[in-house]
Amino acid sequence: EVQLVESGGGLIQPGGSLRLSCAASGFLASSYHMTWLRQAPGRGLEWVSVIYSGGTTYYADFVKGRFTISRDNSKNTVYLQMNSLRAEDTAIYYCARVVTHDSGWIPFDYWGQGTLVTVSS
Amino acid sequence: DIQMTQSPSTLSASVGDRVTITCRASQSINSWLAWYQQKPGKAPRLLIHKASSLQSGVSPSFSGSASGTEFTLTITSLQPDDFATYYCQQYKTYPWTFGQGTKVEIK
């Protein structure tokens, strides 16, 4: 059974850092593109970052230079290192899988349950 | 960035109704559009990808269509479990972007 489990969220002061983890099971995360998305309380969905199976990364402008996505294939885990956190980064952070086929991609077919990050003094 | 505009923002409907949600992209995204369903306190669930391809395990009462930069999600007969918020999302170009959501409420 495919599962994604996020962890690492919590309350952090503005300017602080957190590292989120997304532990995958039931499939080899190294064979898929993996993404992070977020949802501020009562708001819509925002894509944050993606890491390709080959290691290429892309970021939304609002996190570029502050957040870093990475993966540890030996642990089947994807990370999101978040630095210089701001109040507007407060959100539930989800990881999700992207399937790639010759005929096209299937975005976000599996999601984790999310982890809440609250940035407040 | 590609802007995704959904309408309506809220939709009141009854069980058994046919429901249509529209999503318009600010530029061409070909068919690289997905639809998601989200219930309160839960992660979103993929319903449709590539504009009209039904995700495995999703009820065939859901369907998607495209005409240029306008995309439509249709629920042919609304069931109690379908009351939720629906989002469209383009994945043609980074940053991948979502519509603002459509909340389907009980009339």
Query: pLDDT, tens digit, for every residue of A71-99?
Result: 999 999 999 999 999 999 999 999 999 99
At A36-65, the pLDDT tens digits run 999 999 999 999 999 999 999 999 999 999
Residue pair A6/A95 in contact by the 8 Å Cβ criterion: yes
Report residue A114: phi and psi, to 5°. 95, 155
Contact residues, chain B, for A107 at CB < 8 Å? 34, 46, 49, 89, 91, 96
What is the rounded CA–CA span in Å between residue B101 and residue A28?
A: 32
**Is there a contact between B4 and B89 (Cβ–Cβ < 8 Å)?**
yes
* A contact residues 55-114, partner B, Cβ 8 Å cutoff: 58, 60-61, 94, 104-109, 111-114
Residue B11 has a CB neighbour count (10 Å cut-off) of 18
Verify whether the Cβ–Cβ distance A107 to B34 is below 8 Å: yes
pLDDT digits (tens, 9 = 90+) for B22-81: 999 999 999 999 999 999 999 999 999 999 999 999 999 999 999 999 999 999 999 999
- Closest by Cα among B87, B94, B90 to B43: B87
> Rounded mean pLDDT of A104-113?
94
> Which residue from B3, B1, B22 is spatially nearest to B11, judged by alpha carbons?
B22
Residue closest to A79 by CA, chosen among A12, A18, A28:
A18
What the block records as the tokens of A119 is: 């940035």
Q: Are strands A91-101 and A67-72 parallel, antiparallel or unpaired?
A: unpaired
pLDDT band of A101, cuts 50, 70, 90: confident
Chain B: residue whose CA lies nearest to A41: B41
For residue A103, what pLDDT band results from cuts at 50, 70 and 90? confident
Q: Measure Cα distances from A114 to A17, B14, B29, B56 in Å.
A: 18, 31, 28, 22
